[in-house]
Structure 1
């Protein structure tokens, strides 16, 4: 079908990117500046409309600059994008401290706009207050300076991770136990093999390599990404965030951060983390004891399960007790088939069509593009950037390229991951479904008249729930059989999937405790701002993680979520509670039942940020959400399938 709105035209030559990015950003910021002046002079009848247009321009600048700063192959272009981010943030900071702009919006009769306009107005006035527009001149100037520092420090922290990858030289003999395709992709040179800290290198090595010393060495490299530079950067980032929150009258950064989230208050974050840690304690200790007892059969001197060996011994237990051999499993997950299957599954589930656009210009030859439609309605375009490369963002996330706006611009989104180019672990498949859930959310919610509602614009501690729920389709035997097949074309057997699911349930207790450890680092680092981050990290390992750390490692220096999620990493478990409840509305015997799938699409995903997340969930479930499904899942022990 011919799209009503034209997709963004990207440069089709390497040399074209720098001038294209400069012109696009500069012209958008110029239009935003003119709209800022227009807003200051606007009457109550037009102020909200001007505000919407202004934020559309600004959102576009942030979208393209934040994406290219993380994915473009050219370091100079990434640096250019970072500088544009700084300029855009400076503009936004000045805008939110502009008393004239705030006064224009404050003059709007709250009862005059429609429901969407009333919500936009309330959020805008709240955000002006949270920016400090009502503060005295000296305080506003300090807030402006701190805001610039936060951007610069956040960029430095992310850059330290993105460009701070390491590698470990291991003897060729250390490859015993590794999959044949992994070995083939890592030829030895003079009897030595190099293992990078990219996930497709490190995770399989830690899962399958028999050599404990080599696994330990690889883990040490993996957990020292960003060290030592990011230690100082993070410490300063924590201090600046705290000062910013205090100047605005909040007790600390978590209190400031939580005000606009479902959880509501900073102390509630600590309470939630403690509740999940307690709920997972018994199951976690049970599973860790199983790992330790099995490991001591081979190594009676082993003192504990630690971050270098938990993956390996978990695979051993799953292989022996659940009859699941991860190397056998990965033979069914060829990347190309998985990608095609993902599009087929999500298309069928949500009524979407993904049409390849092989002629589309991209920033790298491995990036693929698709036009997206819902029935006869054109939604926009997506890009899939799914393999690792030097200088690229090294986790998994969905980025906005263009925020959708009804009648103005079609939504465009980008999935950025780091998967193998050949066979995938099933965990990779689950991650792909999870991250694609964000992309579906972005596209379906890109049809609002207000830019504030566009895409994944719900409260930040809800955004993971739809993606976590979509993971369930990566565990269904019928779904997997539709695209997962071995080299001979034989679909993955249903009984193997059942054993995989049972095996995956093993370890959920100690892995939940690992998540509470991450959440505690996120929350307590911001609350306490310890002088010695490494020492405090060791204490939090002891308090929350059942898996022991390795001395001499500095996980926090490479924990990228401390930049984006700041004090709110608890989000993943908070969202999982909701995701389990959402999934309870589906029939596990028919995951493609159109009535419930389309109702979920229309009531939870398509509304974007137009309503509070709790209300969206209530509309879908017919009741407020609760933790019953999550608690039942957590407390049910893993049982081998006989």
Structure 2
């Protein structure tokens, strides 16, 4: 072991530019020893704190606890980021091994009676401690975390809690690994060119390249969004749309080694049992206590209000599509696999708008530069490419981020294209969070990971408007991490409640298609021509079309999440039956499936959003209201509004209650009317 530790790059000073992880030097065999060393170091630090016989102080207990797991956090950040963005069979096996060990390690800390006694003693007399606001928040967070993780339970209940946490850790890992394997497993291989009718040339070329890379003839389409979504939108062959759509909505639902139904049932049951052990009515009550919504009843109130507004709009959209199908005279009835295809046709008919015609104006490199332009105009940030810096994959690019005084703000990694080693979707993450130590501000290392279409032999990577908006969204999360300016890592950046964390990301989406921004980046990749104003107007006019569908599919998933996580502890379920009953209860129409069905609902079963998927729409109330502040000022780059948003939201992390932060920015609570206006649901 001694030699392994000496040679282990995760256990040495990195000696890299900006102290980023030395990805090229890290091998699979380094992770388990590094995890062991990190846990051992933290246990030693915890024992030092817990064994103190002097009355506790904020410094020797709370600050010491916050710093106790630095090595373990460093190892974990590298490992778990790579299992999402660049995994391998070896990493997946390590993940299965380490999950229960880490769960036990966390339990050993939270259930340490002597440690909790010191924290509780400080919490009980916090008014006399003369703490700063941030210190008070850190103390409160630790105290609540210990209580919510079983510190007040008797020995028998603590033992059962340990068993539950171990099982939950394994089930969440299994769920995510099954979904990645299932997504990579499926392919629709087309060998007859006539079956490509309706598909854009760029998609056909990408499919041919995909087939070639897989060692096959023809055109290969997959369940990655960059492949399936345009296929559903443009493919004339209805039976092929049905085939790939059916595969998509039945991921991990084939009663094989990748099936997730049993995991879903167990996760829901164990979470309900854990909540009951801790004295909560349901898992949702446990989770939402620390969110802005506070209770599932309050979250459901918003969801139901929006459902009532959106469902009639979606039904009207379905009628418009059916009318178009009727005019074709084939006697076909609108089905779920037809929606994307006929929505596109109705959109073209009503607005003379073709999203595919906009792709040439959304070259990925240009969209990135447009994003950098917005960050500079709002916050004075500049992004400088870095060449000689370790990255975890050859496709990853790195940037040094500086402020208007040329001071380092942080590092940003960008990883844009799908691969079999990367899970689906788009996300922001960090390899090091911002904090302040004895040497000053510790610059964060932030990463944006996406799954945008790859360049082909004849074209660069060209985005749809939706994908361009996604990049702005993830950049909003990145700015939240980069601009954080707090003392403690535990309260840094995105360390905020789930239903507040989407505010910085979603508000950034509003700038993506503003004329002042488009003129900076929306230029034809071949001619350099600026996107015509007529196309922009059509895009904006068409935006509110199909919002019934977009809102209903999202809300259906949010309500499904709440149904799973308000289950009583003694309730046993069969996931597909349960899902069907939940959808029938809200009146879901068969032409629209929930955005995520149970067996591939990664957000809630392995992604940390359990009882929290509603957060996107909750935060949309905030972001629509927040962007209205810029509108009302008459300048989308108003310096005073931007400074206030930065100082009161982006820099503060989790140092104050979210509503207090929002009111400090907006001088009032948010108004839902701006969301309804934005979605055209009034």
TM-score over 0.5 for the pair: yes
Could you give the per-residue CA deviations for residues 350-400 of structure 1, whole angstroms, max 9, x where no partner exists? 211211112111111001111122233322212111111013111111122
2:44 counterpart of 1:31: no
Contact conserved, 2:448 with 2:474, CA < 8 A, in 1? yes
**3-state SS of paired residue (1:482):** helix
State which of 392, 414, 418 in structure 1 corresponds to 2:447. 414
Deviations 1:272-319 (CA, angstroms, capped at 9, x unpaired): 322221122333333332222223222552323x43121111211221
Normalised TM-score (structure 1): 0.93
Query: How far apart are residue 193 of structure 1 and its match?
Result: 2.8
* Paired position in structure 1 for 2:3: none
C-alpha contact 1:477 1:498 (8 A) present in aligned 2: no
Are residue 152 (structure 1) and residue 195 (structure 2) matched? no
1:18: which partner in 2? 28
2:591 aligns with 548
In 1, are the aligned partners of 2:17 and 2:389 still within 8 Å (CA)? no
Q: In structure 2, do the counterparts of structure 1 residues 20 and 489 end up closer, same or farther at CA, with 3 Å as the change threshold?
A: farther
- Contact 1:517–1:544 under 8 Å retained in 2: no
**Secondary structure at the counterpart of residue 414 of structure 1:** strand
* Residue range with higher mean Cα deviation, 160-169 or 586-595: 586-595
Of residues 555, 562, 571 in structure 2, which corresponds to 1:523?
562
Of 188, 191, 195, the residue aligned with 1:174 is: 195
Offset of residue 38 of structure 1: 1.9
Q: Could you give the per-residue CA deviations for residues 468-510 of structure 1, whole angstroms, max 9, x where no partner exists?
A: 1111111212212211211111111222112101101111123
Give the match for residue 392 of structure 1: 422
The verdict on how the C-alpha distance between 1:338 and 1:544 changes in structure 2, with shifts beyond 3 A counting, is farther
Partner of residue 581, structure 2: 539
**Distance in 1 separating the partners of 2:273 and 2:361:** 52
Farther off after superposition, 153-162 or 102-111: 102-111
User: CA offset at residue 530 of structure 1?
Assistant: 5.7
Name the SS of the counterpart of 1:355 in structure 2.
strand
Given the alignment of the two structures, is residue 286 of structure 1 paired with residue 316 of structure 2, yes or no?
Answer: yes
Normalised TM-score (structure 2): 0.87
Superposition pairs for residues 370-519 of structure 1, below 5 Å? 370-375=399-404, 376-407=406-437, 409-421=442-454, 422-445=461-484, 447-486=485-524, 487-519=526-558
**Conserved in 2, the CA contact under 8 Å of 1:402 and 1:412?**
yes
Q: Give, in angstroms, the shift of residue 142 of structure 1.
A: 0.8
Secondary structure at the aligned position of 2:629 is classed as coil
Partner residue of 1:308 out of 325, 330, 337: 337
Instruction: Work out the CA distance in 1 between the residues paired with 2:397 and 2:626.
Output: 31
Corresponding residue for residue 341 of structure 1: 370
1:439 deviates by 1.0
Q: How many angstroms apart in 2 are the aligned matches of 1:499 and 1:204?
A: 20
Partner of 2:672: 627
**Change beyond 3 A, Cα 1:634–1:365:** closer
C-alpha separation between the residues in 1 aligned to 2:494 and 2:17? 22
Moved more, 522-531 or 491-500: 522-531
Query: 1:574-589 counterparts in 2 under 5 A?
Result: 574-587=618-631
Match status 1:557 vs 2:567: no
Q: Bigger CA drift: 535-544 or 216-225?
A: 535-544
Q: How many residues align?
A: 630
Report what 1:186 is aligned to: 207
**Structure 2 counterparts to residues 99-114 of structure 1, below 5 A:** 99-108=113-122, 109-111=125-127, 112=129, 113-114=131-132
Q: Distance in 1 between matches of 2:18 and 2:660?
A: 33
CA distance in 1 between counterparts of 2:324 and 2:551 reads 21
Conserved? CA contact 2:544–2:680, under 8 Å? no
Question: For the structure 1 residues 98 and 544, does the alpha-carbon distance in structure 2 shift closer, same or farther, using more than 3 Å as the test?
Answer: farther
Residue 640 (structure 1) aligns with: none
- Relative to 1, partners in 2 of residues 1:249 and 1:369: Cα closer, same or farther, differing over 3 Å? same
2:94 pairs with 1:80: yes
Partners of 1:6 and 1:410 within 8 A in 2: no
Cα offset for 1:82? Answer: 5.2
Q: Per the alignment, do residues 610 and 138 of structure 1 end up closer, same or farther by CA in structure 2, a change over 3 Å counting?
A: same
Partner of 1:44: 56
Say whether 1:7 aligns with 2:18.
yes
2:665 maps to 1:617: no
Alignment of 1:61-76 (within 5 A): 61-76=75-90
Unaligned runs of 5+ in 1: 638-642
Whole-Å separation in 2 of the counterparts to 1:303 and 1:397:
37
Change (3 A) 1:271 1:289: same
**Residue of structure 1 in register with 2:282 after alignment:** 252
Change (3 A) 1:346 1:291: farther
How far the C-alpha of 1:83 sits from its partner, in A, is: 3.8
Cα distance in 2 for residues equivalent to 1:371 and 1:565? 31
Task: State the match for 1:572 in structure 2.
Answer: 616
Task: Please tell me whether the aligned partners of residues 256 and 266 of structure 1 are also in contact (alpha carbons under 8 angstroms).
Answer: no
Q: 1:119 to 1:556 in 2, by over 3 A?
A: same
Shift of 1:434: 0.7
CA distance in 1, matches of 2:434, 2:32: 22
Structure 1 residues 274 and 299, CA, compared in 2 at 3 Å: closer, same or farther? farther
Give the Cα–Cα distance (whole angstroms) in 2 for the partners of residues 577 and 545 of structure 1. 23
Query: Aligned to 2:408, what secondary structure does the other structure show?
Result: strand
Any conservation in 1 of the 2:648–2:661 contact (CA below 8 Å)?
yes
- Residue aligned with 1:545, SS: coil
Could you tell me how far 1:550 is from its partner in structure 2?
A: 7.6
Report if the CA contact (8 A) 2:107-2:162 is conserved: yes
Mean alpha-carbon deviation: is it higher for 287-296 or for 540-549? 540-549
Residues 39 and 101, structure 1, Cα contact 8 Å, conserved in 2? yes
Distance 2:402 2:36 in 1: 31
Aligned twin of 1:265: 295
Aligned partner of residue 219 in structure 2, secondary structure: strand
SS at match of 1:135: coil
Separation in structure 1 between the aligned mates of residue 97 and residue 376 of structure 2, nearest angstrom: 38
Measured in 2, the distance between the counterparts of 1:299 and 1:604 equals 55
Q: Does structure 1 retain, via aligned residues, the 8 Å contact 2:171–2:263?
A: yes
Instruction: Please give the alpha-carbon distance, in whole angstroms, between the structure 1 residues aligned to 2:69 and 2:659.
Output: 25
Aligned-partner Cα distance in 2 for 1:297–1:478: 41
1:596 aligns with 2:641: yes
Q: Tell me, in whole angstroms, the C-alpha distance in 1 between the residues paired with 2:39 and 2:296.
A: 34
